[in-house]
Amino acid sequence: MKKIVKNVFLFVGVILLAVVIFLDCFVTYSQNYTYEEKINKIENTTGLVQASGKSLYDAEGNQLVLHGINAGQILLQEGWMSPFALEPLKNEDGSYVKDADNNIQYPEFTEEEFREGIKSNPNLNTYDMEELMRIYWDAFFTEEDFRIIKEDLQMNTIRLPFYYLNILNEDLTLKSEEDAFAYLDWFMEEAAKQELYVVLDLHGAPGSQNGFEHSGRKDRVAGLWTSEENVKATVELWRFVSKHYTETKPELGKWIATYDILNEPTYEYNTQTTPECWEVFDQIYDVIRANGDAHVITMEGCWDFGKLPDPVDYGWENVQYEYHWYNWWSNILPNELLYAYYDLYNIGRDYDVPVLIGEFTLFEDREAWADTFALLDQRNYSWTIWNYKSTVTGWWTTSWGVYTCQLKAITENEDTKCNIATCTYEEYLATCEKVKTENCVTATLYDVIQEYNKK
């Protein structure tokens, strides 16, 4: 019996040793993974950013790596970052639900609820909704913010998430060109003044491409893929955007680094990108190219490198692949293992395309920020951090934003967000004023970016 037990322990020990050796070897491989490509310049006659091999190149043909920030929470509400909400969560006794840091907690809050709140609020619905939203948009991101990103943060790119209702009407017909592009054109004009590239990111498609709150809805249904009407509207949206920046506003179009055609596309809620998604990608690709549009087109894969096809299989050219790196298990899973996991899935799928890490954060771990920046540089990956600005209740800050808006001063009593369904017009304006960057404070993310720029 003792011999059997000894053999079992020996067998288990050998297996564990093999696993440790495998993980160590693969982490070493992952940390040293780099491109052999050393081309620094190509011939480029398009006047646009182009993809060639595993790199991007600017209009002059010089190698280009996008270093940027996301401008999330402007055109599409994400409740946890938003200064707006509906009623806070309450306990049975009517008191507010609070977290360990005594912050009031809220249910998920979406772009659809933001818009519905304005419509139903008798204090707001006598005003034009588009004008009300524009007041907020113009406060959250001003001309000064473009300068900050270019000069203070020393970045060259902004990824701009937008919602399908910015371009389409509620019945999925196209808005007039003037209405559809009023804000996007302003954003592009201000970016161009600072010589900043923009990644146009469709963050919320008709029916939702993933069922998550950040797609504009929270019914946990990825209703884009199974609805012919929603697919058709999404394809038509990109035809319209492509035509506008190719024919109507080509002078602005040259500052578009890439069309990020669908954010975090998953065929079902909380799953992955599948071949059914690829077919819709292909329809969007075709309609953009049919406009004679030579912009780089970006496809996203959730949640690892193995969820996208070889572009050769679809005949896709001048494309970029995008992934999002979030280590939600950072307290138990070292980032080195997470990146090695992604690389494991990338074996055999090391396609001849540039890579954009379109969203990522390392929370408050400054050492992890430095290590990840070094890894991205080594691999020639472009990147855009999530996010430029966030809002909180109370006097704390968050690494989710370069700037943190602290909402304590908005209310006289407890630190609450602005209830979009009941607030007065004056309270709405006060909230918009509060989110201006001049009224915000910097957080960990600001510091780690400055440290990166010193190298």
- pTM exceeding the 0.75 threshold for the entire prediction: yes
Question: For residues 142 and 436, is the Cβ–Cβ distance under 8 A?
Answer: yes
**Residue (of 119, 151, 143, 142) closest to 132 by Cα position:** 119
The domain locations on the chain are 33-453
Mean pLDDT of the chain: 92
How large is the average pLDDT for residues 106-128? 97
For residue 2, what pLDDT band results from cuts at 50, 70 and 90?
low
pLDDT of residue 8: 47
pLDDT at 20 over 60: no
Q: Which residue has the tokens 């006659």?
A: 45
pLDDT of residue 411: 45
Checking if the pLDDT of 18 tops 60, the result is no
> What are the pLDDT digits (tens) for 309-365?
999 999 999 999 999 999 999 999 999 999 988 888 777 777 999 999 999 999 999
Is 70 exceeded by the pLDDT of residue 14? Answer: no
Report which DSSP code applies to 132.
Answer: H
The CA–CA distances, whole Å, from 132 to 97, 161, 277, 352 equal 30, 19, 35, 45
**Which of 25-29, 72-76, 386-390 shows the lowest mean pLDDT across its residues?**
25-29
Q: Is pLDDT of 22 > 90?
A: no
**236-251 pLDDT tens trace:** 999 999 999 999 999 9
Token pair for 153: 């943060």
Superfamily of domain 33-453: Glycosidases (3.20.20.80)
| Mean pLDDT, residues 250-259 taken together | 98
